Amino acid sequence: MIANAFTCTGPYAILLLLGVKRTENRSQLPIPEKGRCAISCSKTFSKEEYGSFVQWASQNLTTEEFMAIPSWKDISEWPGKIVGACDYTSRKRNDLVLADGDERGGKVNWDEGYDYWWDLSQVVAFDHPIPCRGDVGMWQLPSTLASHVTSVDRLARSVGERIASSETAAELFRLAIPVAGENEGFFVLPMNESRRVLAEPVLVSIGDSSTTTVDPSEVFSAALQVGAKAIVVAHNHPSGDIRPSAQDYELTDQLKRLGTKIGVEVLDHLIVSGEQWCVVERN
């Protein structure tokens, strides 16, 4: 259910390149001084990206952390894998472990699990490090983190993609909606005149488990900030019932009228819940 008022939350942060480990801010970060950390890699770096990362890491990571970073030759082969481990109980580097299970310089006790994770390409930031103790699969990211990493990567790759159908838009919203948790969230997907994606779906409002309030000015502000000429909007129904409410129809009509006036075409309003979705349109 959608109401035409305004409730706004700040964007959910995606921290790039181990930003959670900046040593100068360590005391302000929710990273334990003790504990076991697994290092993973969710994408293949270009040589330029890898060089920039190493330069950043040399200035911001501890010696132990920096030494655990794999080489360019190795990292190019490791997307989606655990590539190393650090033991912060002793504040020493643990042994680097290859994705195929081979080990360098000793043995890592994988059965103990890990307290938190780094990812060399991107970390989805929650209120605390992602706990993994007791939930670690051999050589693979735990499913909870892997799904987030996969979603983030797919959304990042959607920029520039042409949205040829409502189904494609629904797929992108399905990946973005988990940031709303168990609440209803309202999202905007901005596109150019050729219906190519200009930015990942933007969360413009979040409510409770059964409703969220939307200010149309926030919807179009998110679109105009990136020069959009067309948008698809969507919200989720945590209940699982994707039938539109009367308010959903009213908001759709309002957004389409306003969009026509300001030159931003509202192509679709979708309701997405799990694998189900529908277009909010009057028969």
pLDDT at 268: 96
Q: Give the β-pairing of 116-119 and 202-206.
A: unpaired
Give the CATH architecture of domain 2-11+160-279.
Answer: 3-Layer(aba) Sandwich (3.40)
| Spatial CB neighbours of 250, under 8 Å, sequence gap ≥ 6 | 4
Which residues in the chain land under pLDDT 50? 2-34, 80, 82, 86-113, 120-146, 149
Domain boundaries, the chain: 2-11+160-279, 31-152
The confidence score (pLDDT) of residue 170 equals 93
Start-to-end CA distance of the chain, whole Å, equals: 19
Amino acid in position 224: L
CA-CA distance, 239 to 218, in Å (whole number)? Answer: 25
Kindly state the helix (H) or strand (E) to which residue 229 belongs, with its residue range: none
Q: Which two tokens stand for residue 146?
A: 């892997």
pLDDT tens-place string over residues 129-147: 333 333 332 223 344 444 5
The span from the CA of 266 to the CA of 263, in Å, is 10
pLDDT value at residue 96: 32
User: What pTM, to 2 d.p., does this model score?
Assistant: 0.53
Closest CA to 230 of 264, 279, 188, 186: 264
- The pLDDT value recorded for residue 50 is 65
Position 263 scores a pLDDT of 96
Condensed to tens digits (0 to 9), the pLDDT of residues 78-87 reads 554 545 554 4
3-state secondary structure of 202: strand
The confidence score (pLDDT) of residue 179 equals 72
pLDDT digits (tens, 9 = 90+) for 78-127: 554 545 554 444 333 333 333 333 333 333 444 444 555 555 443 333 22
